[in-house]
Amino acid sequence: MAKIIKHPEVEDYFVERTLDEVKAAPRGLIPDYEANRLIVLKDYRLAVDFDAFAQMSANTKDAPAALQKQLKKLQATHILQASPTSTEPLHKAIFETFCNGDPALFQRVQTAMRAAHEAVMGLFRTCFPDYEHFRVVPSVRLTRTMFENLHWDNHNIDDDFQQVRIFVNLDQRPRIWNVSHNYVNFARTVYRDHDLARFAGRDPNEMNNYIVGSILGGTAGACRDTLPRHVVAFEPGEIWFGESRMISHQIYYGERAMVYMFFVKPEGMLDRKRRFNAQVEALHASFAPAR
């Protein structure tokens, strides 16, 4: 089970559910997810060949910087589509550089990736039975992340969709996150002082840029913000879910992970008003002068 140290000044939005509990619930995790909870799948570990991924990470150390960057947010589908005879540059690099041209390692990595990919796609269907996704970004992070700045995710697209994020720790060591306030709750506390009304009716990413950059300090000011936070250590193979535009987070330390992002049509939601764009609109409306 994830080790969670809760801070009394931050909302307690954690829930733990076993897969059996999720299957028994008519709408799976949807009610918890739309309540912007951080959901940990209790007693579940993705059984995966961690060593195969660890070796692939180790083989990148001498790779050119541009290739290493591609490995930072690699799509799982590239690993699944690559082969020892690939000519497509990234697929070729997966075999020749990341797998060191070793057919046995490549086979292990691809088998592990396929199993992990299918498990996560299956969990999406089981946990979000009424959700229909129209796009998936199946990201695999095989490089170390440390000391991110605290932030709410900004996808730089103002498309109005429900996002489902599924996270998996693919490393043998814990993945350490700090998490803090819900986006709307935090914005409400600083709304008047920072004149956030000027962002009403605009692309919601603009207010995110302002809050994360000017108030929390942005990438340049990583770890300088003073918000209280919960500290979480996710176990090897552990899986968790959360709307990363609503739950502020800071990867403090992690080696390898899967981060699958599903774009879901609002029509399948229990309450369409719980999608990100609608929650931001409701915040502005609550501060708008009465007519």
Which chain residues interact with Fe ion by CB under 5 A? 153
Nearest of 156, 178, 181 to residue 222 by alpha carbon: 178
Nearer to Fe ion, 80 or 222 (CB): 222
Nearer to Fe ion, 34 or 153 (CB): 153
Nearer to Fe ion, 32 or 153 (CB): 153
CA angle 28, 29, 34 (to 5 degrees): 130
Shortest Å, Cβ 251 to Fe ion: 7
Nearer to Fe ion, 97 or 149 (CB): 149
Q: Which residues contact residue 167 at a Cβ distance below 8 angstroms, ignoring those fewer than 6 apart? A: 234, 239, 240, 241, 242, 257, 258, 259, 260
Nearer to Fe ion, 102 or 148 (CB): 148
Nearest of 279, 68, 270 to residue 182 by alpha carbon: 279
Shortest Å, Cβ 151 to Fe ion: 6
Shortest Å, Cβ 153 to Fe ion: 4
Three-state DSSP class for 23? helix
Nearer to Fe ion, 105 or 211 (CB): 211
Q: How far apart are CA 132 and CA 250, in angstroms?
A: 29
Half-sphere exposure for 139 (CA within 13 Å, toward CB):
17
Cβ atoms within 10 Å, residue 100? 14
Q: How far apart are CA 224 and CA 65, in angstroms?
A: 28
Three-state DSSP class for 61? coil
Shortest Å, Cβ 100 to Fe ion: 31
Shortest Å, Cβ 17 to Fe ion: 23
Nearest-CB residue for Fe ion = 153
Residue 270 token pair: 């229990």
Shortest Å, Cβ 250 to Fe ion: 8
